[in-house]
């Protein structure tokens, strides 16, 4: 288990100004789970990871790994990185080019205070290489490996000391798109099999959704929303989260009739009254934003029997993309994107009716 409480970290720029890289954030990673810090560059996610690793010294807060406090400003505790029993994989892999695959994985074991016999080192290294499917490549020079193999080598080197937790900082970003997709699934399956508690950092929304048990979306040093992937995507708490993860259509409106969060509100927009799911607390008269995902919009060329959440518009662009047809519809002054079946007959210039189901029309913070 990893527990981070009220963590704070600042940096001083060359001009002398102070930047709040991490601002009083708290989160907990359950034993054996895969927890992702997701956000744009400069949001504080890598700094948070490095604080957990001991590579950065926070100014405030407390970090606990298992039952051991590894940092606390109040208790004046700061355990050095090599005493935290963590495995870490960086974006660059940091593989030693002059060493063989075996020597790269053995290197951390040779730095341990506890001296291991050559036989024990060989056993541990071979087990780590077998785990990542590099068991027959121990004698190969590290630079001769492919990109995916180098990523697995870096993982084997992190696993060889049998760490309590794994910390992964953008480990797939240097791979090409197809290999990254394959390694995403492979890495998730491996860590689930090993039951290792994992803290993962990425700016890639698809990566986060595909791999994580829970996601914390970060912006400007703060956690904006934390939830399981399905909730982060379907019920974003604010426009930033909805815009950062996936594609969204946004309508501005004013709450006309409301209820408790988790139920439905009526919101007055320039396109009429829309019923929407309340993801956040809101009262009558509040200005809010409605978020509607393109795949949740259905389009008809004939008027539906119900007027509930029905809009009218004209198709501006229709592009065939193989898996779906990407359609842009002019609805009043707004352009609305929808994803239709690839064989949909809807085309440019068609007058259409759009239906946006209330349960997938989400009220988020202004």
pLDDT digits (tens, 9 = 90+) for 133-191: 899 999 999 889 988 888 889 889 999 888 889 999 998 887 888 888 888 888 888 88
Where residue 269 falls among pLDDT bands split at 50, 70, 90? very high
**Model pLDDT, residue 16:** 84
Q: What is the CATH number of domain 2-234?
A: 3.40.50.300
Query: What pTM did the predictor assign?
Result: 0.88
* Partners of residue 277 on adjacent β-strands: 264, 362
Return the domain boundaries, the chain: 2-234, 239-364
**Model pLDDT, residue 95:** 82
Superfamily covering domain 239-364:
Nucleic acid-binding proteins (2.40.50.140)
Q: Does position 365 have pLDDT exceeding 80, yes or no?
A: no
Question: What's the Cα-to-Cα distance from 61 to each of 57, 73, 101, 159, rounded to whole Å?
Answer: 11, 6, 39, 28
Q: Hey, is 334 helix, strand or coil?
A: strand
Contact 290, 274 (CB under 8 A): yes
Q: pLDDT tens for residues 69-105?
A: 999 999 999 999 988 989 999 877 778 889 999 999 9
Q: Round to whole Å and give the CA distance between 166 and 27.
A: 16
């Amino acid at each position: 288990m990893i527990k981070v409480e009220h963590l704070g970290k600042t940096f001083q720029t060359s001009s002398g100004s102070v930047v709040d890289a991490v601002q009083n954030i708290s989160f907990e990673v359950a034993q054996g789970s895969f927890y992702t810090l997701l956000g744009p560059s400069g949001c504080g996610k890598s700094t948070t990871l490095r604080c957990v690793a001991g590579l950065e010294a926070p100014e405030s807060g407390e970090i606990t790994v298992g039952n051991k406090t590894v940092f606390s400003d109040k208790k004046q505790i700061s355990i050095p990185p090599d005493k935290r029993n963590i495995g870490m994989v960086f974006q660059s892999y940091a593989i030693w080019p002059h060493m063989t695959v075996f020597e790269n994985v053995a290197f951390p074991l040779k730095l341990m205070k506890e001296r291991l016999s050559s036989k024990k080192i060989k056993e541990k290294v071979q087990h780590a290489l077998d785990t990542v499917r590099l068991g027959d490549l121990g004698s190969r020079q590290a630079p001769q490996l492919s990109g995916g193999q180098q990523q697995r080598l870096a993982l084997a080197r992190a696993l060889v000391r049998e760490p309590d937790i794994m910390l992964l900082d953008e480990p797939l970003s240097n791979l090409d798109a197809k290999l990254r997709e394959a390694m995403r699934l492979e890495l998730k399956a491996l860590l689930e099999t090993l039951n290792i508690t994992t803290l993962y950092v990425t700016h890639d929304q698809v990566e986060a959704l595909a791999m994580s048990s829970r996601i914390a979306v970060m912006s400007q040093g703060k956690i904006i929303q934390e939830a399981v992937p399905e909730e982060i995507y379907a019920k974003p708490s604010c426009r930033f989260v909805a815009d950062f993860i996936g594609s969204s259509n946004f309508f501005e409106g004013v709450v006309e009739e409301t209820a408790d969060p988790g139920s439905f509100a009526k919101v007055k927009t320039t396109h009429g009254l829309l019923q929407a799911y309340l993801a956040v607390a809101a009262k009558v008269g509040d200005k809010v934003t409605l978020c509607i995902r393109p795949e949740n919009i259905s389009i008809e060329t004939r008027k539906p029997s119900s007027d509930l959440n029905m809009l009218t518009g004209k198709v501006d662009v229709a592009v065939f993309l193989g898996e779906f047809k990407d359609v842009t519809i002019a609805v009043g002054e707004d352009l609305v994107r929808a994803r239709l079946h690839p064989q949909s007959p809807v085309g440019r210039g068609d007058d259409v009716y759009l239906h946006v189901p209330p349960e997938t029309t989400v009220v988020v913070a202004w």
